[in-house]
Structures are given as structure tokens and as C-alpha cells.
Amino acid sequence: MAKRTIDKVAVIGAGVMGAQIAAHCANAGHEVVLLDIVPKGTDDRSAVAKGAIAKLLKADPQPFMHKRFAKRITPGNLEDDLDLVADCDWIVEAIIEKVAIKQDLYKRLDGVRKQGSIVSSNTSTIALNKLVDGMPESFRRDFLITHFFNPPRYMRLLELVAGTDTDPEALETIRDFGDKALGKTCVDCNDTPGFIANRIGTLWITAATTDAMDMGLTVEEADAAMGRPVGIPKTGVFGLIDLVGLDLMPLVAGSLSTALPKDDLFNRVFRDEPLFNKMIADGYTGRKGKGGFYRLNREGGGKVKESIDLKTGEYAKSVKPRIDSVSAAKSLGLRGFLTHGDKPSQYVWSVMRKTLGYAASLVPEICGTIDAVDDAMKLGYAWKKGPFELIDEMGPAWFAAELEKDGMPVPELLKKVGDGSFYKVDAGNLQRFTVDGGYETIERPEGVLLLADVKRRSDPVLKNGSAKLWDIGDGIFCFEFASKMNAIDPELLGLLGKSVGHVARKGKGLVIHNEGSNFSVGANLGLALFALNIAAWPEIENMVEVGQETYKALKYAPVPVVGAPFGMALGGGCEVLLHSDRIVAHAESYVGLVEVGVGLIPGWGGCKEMLVRLAQNPRMPKGPMPPVAKAFETIGTAQVAKSAEQAKELGFFRHDDRIVMNRDRVLYEAKQEALRLAEAGYQPPEPAELRLPGPSGRAALDMALDGFKQRGMLTPHDAVVSAALAEVLTGGPEADHTVPMTEDDVIKLEREHFAGLIRTAGTVARVEHMLETGKPLRN
């Protein structure tokens, strides 16, 4: 289908959502106009929009992938600057949820927008047919709903609602732009209240809060049970409300209640809670307020986590609950957990039977396919599995029988699937159950390659307990980390070495990628701590040496190696990328050499590769010291890039490495990059020669360290670690910038100083602390 072009975007409304939508369009490389009302009592008529941009630059998490992207946004006001939208291709309305005000704006926009421009609303509560009622046909053709989730940069769901008059070309244009430019999974919704995610999610939250109160659970018990055991974030439900804001819940729930029939399950579950009203009135709206269901009591200068008693409304010190069903959830499986019988598991069953039954009853009312529902809940509410995937896990026939036994209606779709499942694999293709009672293959958009689909169609070429090698076609192979948290251990290193050899003999190129939560969190610290506790120094030193040799083989492989990261790529995971020929990264890649946090320095070539990359960077000042100083700052302070764009600035990625906005497109693009390199006659790089400053450079770094120590910014062990890092980066006492050092010279220094640090009590304490708390130790 033909599509229109989107080059320039306008966002009307500079509130929390509007401003962040503008920021994300700027992240995608587009010029953006951001307009809002003229405020009273100020000389700057565009103060609202300008103030919104200023807030974006200070916000955490960061709405911009790089602060310089803020320059792509032009602020203005609706009285003086409405004509700025005249050359915009897409106009997003994100103003107050009142139909009359929105329609007044649409009429003004229609008078200045160019022919063929697309207008959309970010409404989450108002039906499209109400928004365009009375508007001319030409406007209705170009209008749809684009419902973003907060925060727009990080939440991958974009719900699309087209009207009966919406031009299919306009819908397809926004779908394509949302997918490729903004990195969203675009889900088609019918024009019904709450669309998909909020229709189901609000019912789930409402049922979870009312059932917890009715069954006498504490907020800690409810959140522990309604969390990881069912694949929901560990915040559970009360922690989630604290995160998004308790004050928003009555607005969303009230709007949904008004829009839905009185006999809808939501209205049968929903009720006004006096405790919640009092909390809002008292300022206990969640993390943005004085606290919410949880709070930090700072009386006496301390920090005590407290939680509210749902019966009395009084706060008391939070107590981690001990729940038999939660402790056994992994071994029990979903059905076993739900039927365990203790009160928390009964609570979860009470909530989930309503929620999942409700979801099954809403197809095809709210959307045409079951995977649209699952995608919406996974991407909009961060569930690991969607409602239909959860029903499949417990068994549709069993679930239907349990609903009937509990006196609840069995949805028609659940009756139709009978003893079958909502998803199945046929000839290697994932299929979904349809509302007609059959199955159809789920087609991926062009340019999407998922490792999950490869796995359904084939077996790994090589594998062990920590990694696998997959043939992804056209002579390109994919190396997959498969250990816990994708941590790097000897088994993974061993298979990586074998994989390089296999691809060199039988392939054209290698991509390193996986579909876990993160690319890799680095070395397996638990394994390292075990070795430390039994003083297995030779084993540790051997793992360092094997890692160095494996990564060296990766860098000098006779075929191109493309790193395809996403999420966290830390420590050894970052070092894998540093040894790759090219990077094709998801925009949300958080990359860093963080070893100093556990009292170590990078030991698998990270120091050496940072020196090489920085020395070869044409933007770096000349001479031996600038690359050393920059590497020392970056590694010594454990800097982590908060986006792929920032990873380029810090030197982890090269400036010609590619960034892909949609994670589902990363593997395909990485494969294409490997093929391009191979077809261009790839040759491995020549080993670099490094001119390092030696003792004079070490003296300069020591002066900086002395300043930090005098200001109390370095602990004694930090100073030891920093000194070792300085020694490696400056080349050691024998280095002379007039005499080049080899890469092997530098990694030998890495290995020696890593071995020295790993034996210190300070490093052992830091490794233990990191494993226990997930945070670096500072003392």
C-alpha cells in the first residue's frame, strides 16, 4: 500500500505526554514543533512549551537519547505560532481530555494544515467517532488515534485506532513511521472504551486492589504474589500504582466506568475506595508525592521503608512476607501456583480468573486478533506473557472448567478453542487461533527477523548450557547467549571460540545477538565469587586468559562479526561489542565497562580496545595523552551510556555504527550488515600499534587521583583500583610514546593487574556486596 512521507512533526500540548512524544520524535531525527497555550502573568508567550523542553532536559529517566536532540524542537504558542504546523506532515494532539476543546483545536488546525497532513489524538479515553463528529470529511480521512504509553521513549506499545472514514494510506503511514522511526509495536484497536491495554489493565488493577482489601492481604503480600509468580513485574499492583500515580487511577477508572455498560465486568468490580480518596487528599499519590502504598520515613535522619495498612490507613515498617506458594512458584508452574491453596495464591486466582476471562470475552469487540491483546499487555503493562499466552500455559480447557465451577461465564472464544490452544506451531510457523475457530500464521512485517522464529524452524548448529549458534540464512550465523542474565562464563567463552571457527569454515559472517531482557550483564560474578572463596586463583586467571584469546579470535576472525546489542551490555558484554567489526544496536542500548564497581578493571581487552578506538577517532585531540585520559575517565568512573547514541559519544561505539529504533528489526539489520561486509570483500583489521605515555602519563593521572582523594571522593580501595587502571592505560613503567606497544602488550598488563586485584580483600567484599544487593559497595 502507498504511504505518505513524514519529515516534520507538530505536537499540540506540552504536558507530560505531549512534551515526551515531541522528544521521542526528535530522537528519531525529525524536526518538531511543540505548541501550547499562552500563559497568564508572563511576558514570554511561549513559556509553557519552552518550560516543557527545559523539564525534559532534567527528567530522569531521560526522554532524550542525547541532550543535543532538544535543538530539534521549536517551541511556540497556539495564538502566535499556529502557522508553524503548515509544513508539518503529522500533527499530534495531546491536550486536555475534553471533546469540545479538542474539536475547537481541530477546526483551527484544519484551517492551516497542508493537504494530506495526518492529524491524530493521543486520547486514552475518548472515542474517535466523538472526536470527529461534525468535522468535514477531508479532516476525517486524515484523522486517527495514536495512543502512546508513558514514558513514550521507553514504552514500546503504540495503539492505533482508525475511524470508518480514515484513509487506509494515512493509517499505514503512521504504522510504518511508528514502527521504523519511533521503534513501536503498533497494535490495531477498535474504537471502544480504553482500547486494549487500559481496558484490560484497569480491570486487572481494580480487581487486584479490591480483592486484596476484601481478602485481608497486606500490600506486601499482594505484591509478592501478584508479581513474578505470574510473570508480572515485581512491583505487583500496589507498587505499580505508586509508580504511575494513585491520583490518575480515579480519572482513568471513572472515565472507563462511564463509557462502559453497567453490566460490564469492570463496573461490577469497580467501587469508590474511601482510603484511596483520603490518600490522594493527603498528598500520598505515590512516588511523585509523599509516598503512596509504600513510603520512606525519613524521621531522625534515617530511611525506613513503610507500607500502609489497607484496613486502618496507618503506616508501619514494611515486612517482607514469607509465602509458601510464592517460594514454590517456579517448581509448581502457573496452574500449580494458582491452585496451591494458601491465601495469597487464592487472591491471585481470584484476580486472574476475572482478568483473563475478561480478556477472552473482549475479542473481537476490542480488536481482531488474540496476539494484539497479548502484545498490548506485554508492551503496555510489562507482563512477560499476555492473557492468551497465560491461558495456554494453564490449559484453556482447564481454565474454562474452573470458570464454570466458580460460577463465572465462559467466553465464547474459550468455548471455541475447546481442548486446543490459542497458539500452536505448524511446520515451524507460529499460528494464532481466530475468532472463526481456525488457525492462521502470524506474519512478520518485512524487515523483521526474530530468533524465536528461527528456533521454531530449526535446531542449533552448536550448543551447550550457556550458549547456542544458529544458522539464520544466507551464510550468516547468530551466536546466542543463553546463560542466566546472559552472564559470561567458561562454557559460553568455549562455544564462542568454536563458533568463530565454524563460521570461518562454513559461513560468511557472524552476528552476536539474543532475545533476553538484556544483551549481557558481563562476567558471571557468582562463579567468580565461588572461585575466590576457595582461592582457586589458577582457574580465575585461566578464565581471564581464555576470555582474552576468545575475544582476540573474534576481532581477527576471517569473517565479519557484527554485535547486535539491546538493553544492558556491561563489562564483558561491552567487551564483546568492542571486539566486533561493526555494531547494529537497538537505540535503547545501555553500554559500559563497569568493572571498577566490583574492585576490578576490564580484563578481556576492554582497556586495550578503548585506547585503540579513541586513538583512531578523528575527533580526538592528537598526542598520546588524550585517548588515555578519556579512557581513564570513562572506565574509572564506570560510565554507562544511557542510549546507543550516548555510546557513540563515550567511544563504546564508532560514529559509523548503526542504530535501529525498533528492537524487532535489530537482528535483520545486523544480518544485512554482515552480508554487506562479506560481499564487499571483508578483510580482518590490522593489529593496532599504541603509543602510550608511560610514567609521565601515569604521573598526570596520579595527580588527578590525589585531588579526588583529598576531596573524599575515593575510598582506599578505589585508589588501588584506579592506580591499576592508570598503570594499564599508560602502558606501564617501561612505556615510551616514541616506541609503539602492541595490543598483546596492553592485554598482558590487563591480565597481570586483574590478577592482582582479584586477590585483595576489598575486591572480594565488593563482589559479595554486588551479588547480594545488585549495587556497588562504597566504603
Region of 760 on the Ramachandran plot (φ > 0 left; ψ -120 to 50 alpha; else beta): beta
Parallel, antiparallel, or unpaired: how do β-strands 658-660 and 582-586 relate?
Answer: parallel
Any bridge partners for residue 658, and if so which?
584
Phi, psi for 331 (deg, rounded to 5): -75, -30
Question: Which of 765, 587, 574 lies closest to 183 in space, CA to CA?
Answer: 587
Length of the chain in terms of residues written = 779
- Fill in the DSSP letter of residue 181: I
**Neighbour-count burial of 487, counting CB atoms closer than 10 A to its CB (0-12 exposed, 13-18 middle, 19+ buried):** buried
**Which residue among 147, 340, 737, 753 is the active-site one?**
147
State how far the Cα of 23 lies from the Cα of 65, in Å rounded to an integer. 9
State how far the Cα of 552 lies from the Cα of 76, in Å rounded to an integer. 53
State how far the Cα of 351 lies from the Cα of 642, in Å rounded to an integer. 37
Q: What count of Cα atoms within 13 Å lies in the side-chain half-sphere of residue 687?
A: 11
State how far the Cα of 614 lies from the Cα of 630, in Å rounded to an integer. 8
The CA dihedral of 631, 636, 638, 641, to the nearest 10 degrees, is: -20
Cell numbers representing residue 700 in the block: 598526570
Residue 356 contacts residue 395 (beta carbons within 8 Å): no
Active site residue 147: yes
- The contacts of residue 616 (CB under 8 Å, 6+ apart) are 688
Strand locations in 436-517, DSSP E? 439-441, 462-463, 467-471, 476-481, 509-512
State how far the Cα of 145 lies from the Cα of 8, in Å rounded to an integer. 18
Active site residue 124: yes
State how far the Cα of 237 lies from the Cα of 667, in Å rounded to an integer. 34
**Which residue among 46, 198, 255, 722 is the active-site one?**
198
Largest CA distance in the chain: 84
State how far the Cα of 50 lies from the Cα of 77, in Å rounded to an integer. 10
Any bridge partners for residue 690, and if so which?
741
Question: Which of 589, 602, 599, 590 lies closest to 631 in space, CA to CA?
Answer: 602
- Fill in the DSSP letter of residue 682: -
Task: Tell me the CA end-to-end span of the chain in Å, nearest whole number.
Answer: 62
State how far the Cα of 735 lies from the Cα of 695, in Å rounded to an integer. 7
**Three-state secondary structure along 11-46?**
EECCCHHHHHHHHHHHHCCCEEEEEECCCCCCCCCC
Active site residue 198: yes
**Which residue among 124, 345, 466, 524 is the active-site one?**
124
State how far the Cα of 582 lies from the Cα of 675, in Å rounded to an integer. 12
**Which residue among 93, 159, 402, 669 is the active-site one?**
159
**Neighbour-count burial of 375, counting CB atoms closer than 10 A to its CB (0-12 exposed, 13-18 middle, 19+ buried):** buried
Active site residue 27: no
Residue 777 contacts residue 760 (beta carbons within 8 Å): no
**Neighbour-count burial of 228, counting CB atoms closer than 10 A to its CB (0-12 exposed, 13-18 middle, 19+ buried):** middle
For residue 686, which amino acid is it? E
State how far the Cα of 549 lies from the Cα of 496, in Å rounded to an integer. 11
Quick one: CA dihedral 582, 586, 587, 593, positive or negative? negative
- Fill in the DSSP letter of residue 67: G
Cell 505531549 belongs to which residue? 18
Strand locations in 663-713, DSSP E? 689-690
By annotation, the residues acting in catalysis are: 124, 147, 159, 198
